[in-house]
């Protein structure tokens, strides 16, 4: 941008040959281009635009440049009693946003300015606008009075809505009130309301914050015991959205999470009784001893419902969210183990497979009961050995069998035939024991993953 402190331009162009010389003198830049005027009565703005071939918008570009320059002279002071001063102390990151937006809006709402002069060269167009400081103050006060009137109307509506438990309407009107006075948030906005002097911006912001803080989300059941791999009915996963007097609140958006993980279909809205329900959890799967189902006021959705202004949306998303929790005490399912271990038609003693499987379950965190009716799953292993052959010195037996897992309703959740296992020893009985040892080793290596998958 070429604007201020320019030097006087005189260009000499020499043409011809021999001693003949032609001199062209370029008209000097006016003083207001070289040095921007300073006045106690006016805000001044100087604009410039480059005249490019085919560019027909340079007049408007220069005007906009001048008005931006003019607006930059209008100082922005943050009153100690303004709502923006509150932002600076509690939400400091918003002050620059609001200040920048206020300056931009000031330029957009400039009125009463007048064209003082313009000047152009072959390459540039210059324009000079000014605005009476007294006229600007009068127009600003008029607009501010209108904004305060609108903001006060929204304050009344917000308080009435809150008293009638229509919190979503209360929040909406508090934000609309702030939007109405947005351009004047740097000022105190002192006004009379209900025969009392108030600072309107502060009143609107504090009303918004208090209303948000007045919302709570309470679980119907604060703690639930749940078995891994089982579902939780929605009837247990209920919360009530209410105020600090226990009055239910309708129409507020809520989001569910499990720990820090979002949940599928986790967004809902409180109904006429303030209830929110997370449908149901099809299967609880966790390695932790407990999880927390969290129901929170959905600030992302709420901010979008309340306003389209990006700064106010940002402000709302950064507020403290109302939250409620249901603690899920997670227990692994209980197993009952029953085995038939026949070695050459005789029951193996001690039962090698039963003992090994019970130890495997315990090591994986699965309780084992001796009471079949108390179990969530029954693990059945039926196996037997038979003589295969001997080669004169070594004896061989073959082990076969079947593994089943049944649930509490006796539905088969897993079934697998045991692939033949050959045992070798100096006699058939010890060969059978050897085959069972091989089966136990195989189960320890490979079975637990199948079991985990079967009970999910």
405-422 confidence digits (pLDDT tens): 999 899 999 999 999 999
- Does residue 241 fall inside a structural domain? yes
* Chosen domain end from 331, 353, 381: 331
| Whether 349 and 326 share a structural domain | no
Count of domains observed in the chain? 2
Q: Can you tell me whether residue 60 is helix, strand or coil?
A: helix
| Whether 372 and 301 share a structural domain | no
| Whether 324 and 230 share a structural domain | yes
Instruction: With cut-offs at 50, 70 and 90, classify the pLDDT of residue 260.
Output: confident
Q: Is the pLDDT assigned to residue 85 strictly greater than 90?
A: no
What local confidence, expressed as pLDDT, does residue 328 receive? Answer: 94
* Chosen domain end from 288, 312, 331: 331
| Whether 386 and 415 share a structural domain | yes
- Does residue 411 fall inside a structural domain? yes
Largest CA distance in the chain: 134
Cα→Cα distances 378→129, 334, 403, Å: 90, 9, 11
- Does residue 85 fall inside a structural domain? no
Q: Is the pLDDT assigned to residue 14 strictly greater than 60?
A: no
| Whether 340 and 450 share a structural domain | yes
Residues 6+ apart with CB under 8 A from 338: 354, 372, 378, 379, 380, 381
**Do residues 336 and 378 lie in contact, with contact meaning Cβ atoms separated by under 8 Å?**
yes
What local confidence, expressed as pLDDT, does residue 2 receive? Answer: 42
The strand pairing partners of 130, in sequence order, are: 44, 114
- Does residue 151 fall inside a structural domain? no
| Whether 388 and 445 share a structural domain | yes
| Whether 364 and 321 share a structural domain | no
* CATH at 274: 2.60.40.10
Q: Is the pTM of this model over 0.95?
A: no
- Does residue 428 fall inside a structural domain? yes
Of the given ranges (93-97, 310-314, 317-321), which has the lowest mean pLDDT?
A: 93-97
- Does residue 66 fall inside a structural domain? no
CA pair distance 24, 5, nearest whole angstrom? 24
CA pair distance 299, 319, nearest whole angstrom? 8
Instruction: With cut-offs at 50, 70 and 90, classify the pLDDT of residue 5.
Output: very low
Nearest residue to 52 (alpha-carbon basis) of 3, 125, 146, 142:
125
| Whether 350 and 275 share a structural domain | no
* CATH at 340: 3.30.160.150
| Whether 277 and 360 share a structural domain | no
| Whether 320 and 339 share a structural domain | no
| Whether 273 and 365 share a structural domain | no
Nearest residue to 219 (alpha-carbon basis) of 162, 292, 284:
292
Average pLDDT, the chain: 88
What local confidence, expressed as pLDDT, does residue 185 receive? Answer: 83
Q: Which range of residues forms the domain containing residue 434?
A: 335-454
Q: Is the pLDDT assigned to residue 253 strictly greater than 50?
A: yes
Residue 318 tokens, joined? 């950064």
What average pLDDT does this structure show over 61-90? Answer: 77
Helix or strand run (H / E) with residue 276: strand 275-277
* Chosen domain end from 304, 331, 358: 331
- Does residue 311 fall inside a structural domain? yes
What local confidence, expressed as pLDDT, does residue 108 receive? Answer: 67
Residues 6+ apart with CB under 8 A from 400: 383, 384, 386, 417, 418, 420, 421
Percent of the chain beyond pLDDT 70?
88
What local confidence, expressed as pLDDT, does residue 103 receive? Answer: 67
What local confidence, expressed as pLDDT, does residue 74 receive? Answer: 85
Q: For 134-155, what is each residue's pLDDT tens digit?
A: 999 999 899 999 999 999 999 9
| Whether 280 and 326 share a structural domain | yes
Q: Running DSSP on this structure, what letter comes out for residue 44? A: E
Q: Is the pLDDT assigned to residue 95 strictly greater than 70?
A: no
């Amino acid at each position: 941008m070429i604007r201020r402190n320019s030097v006087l331009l005189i260009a000499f162009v020499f043409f011809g040959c021999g001693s003949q010389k032609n001199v062209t003198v370029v008209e000097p830049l006016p003083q207001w281009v070289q040095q921007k005027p300073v006045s106690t009565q006016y805000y001044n703005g100087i604009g410039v635009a480059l005249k490019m071939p085919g560019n027909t918008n340079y007049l408007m570009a220069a005007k906009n440049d001048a008005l931006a320059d003019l607006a930059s002279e209008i100082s922005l002071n943050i009153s100690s009693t303004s709502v923006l001063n509150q932002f600076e102390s509690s939400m400091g990151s918003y002050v620059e946003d609001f200040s920048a937006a206020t300056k931009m809006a000031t330029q957009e709402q400039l009125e009463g300015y007048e064209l003082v002069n313009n000047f152009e060269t072959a390459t540039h167009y210059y324009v000079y606008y000014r605005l009476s400081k007294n006229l600007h103050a009068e127009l600003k006060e008029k607009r501010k009075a209108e904004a305060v009137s609108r903001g006060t109307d929204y304050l009344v509506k917000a308080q009435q809505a809150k008293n009638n438990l229509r919190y979503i309407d209360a929040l909406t009107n508090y934000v609309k009130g702030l939007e109405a006075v947005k351009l004047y948030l740097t000022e105190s906005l002192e006004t009379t309301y209900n025969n009392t002097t108030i600072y309107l911006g502060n009143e609107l912001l504090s009303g918004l914050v208090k209303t948000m803080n007045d919302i709570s989300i309470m679980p119907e059941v604060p703690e639930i015991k749940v078995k891994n791999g089982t579902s939780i009915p929605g009837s247990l996963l209920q919360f009530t959205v209410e105020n600090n007097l226990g009055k239910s609140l309708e129409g507020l958006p809520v989001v569910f999470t499990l720990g820090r993980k979002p949940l599928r279909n986790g967004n809902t809205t409180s109904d006429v009784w303030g209830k929110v329900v997370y449908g149901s959890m099809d299967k609880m799967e966790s390695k932790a001893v407990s999880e927390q189902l969290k129901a929170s006021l959905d600030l992302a959705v709420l901010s979008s419902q309340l306003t389209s202004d990006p700064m106010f949306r940002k402000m709302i998303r950064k507020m403290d969210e109302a939250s409620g929790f249901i603690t899920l005490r997670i227990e692994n399912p209980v197993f009952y183990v029953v085995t038939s271990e026949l070695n050459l038609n005789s029951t193996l003693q001690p039962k090698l497979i039963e003992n090994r499987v019970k130890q495997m379950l315990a090591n994986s965190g699965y309780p084992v009961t001796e009471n079949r009716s108390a179990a969530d799953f029954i693990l059945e292993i039926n196996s037997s050995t038979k003589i295969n052959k001997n080669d004169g010195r070594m004896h061989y037996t073959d082990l076969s069998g079947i593994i089943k897992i049944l649930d509490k309703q006796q539905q088969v959740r897993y079934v697998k035939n045991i692939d033949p296992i050959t045992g070798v020893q100096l006699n058939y009985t010890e060969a059978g024991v050897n085959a069972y040892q091989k089966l136990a080793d195989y189960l320890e290596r490979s079975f637990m993953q199948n079991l985990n998958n079967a009970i999910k």
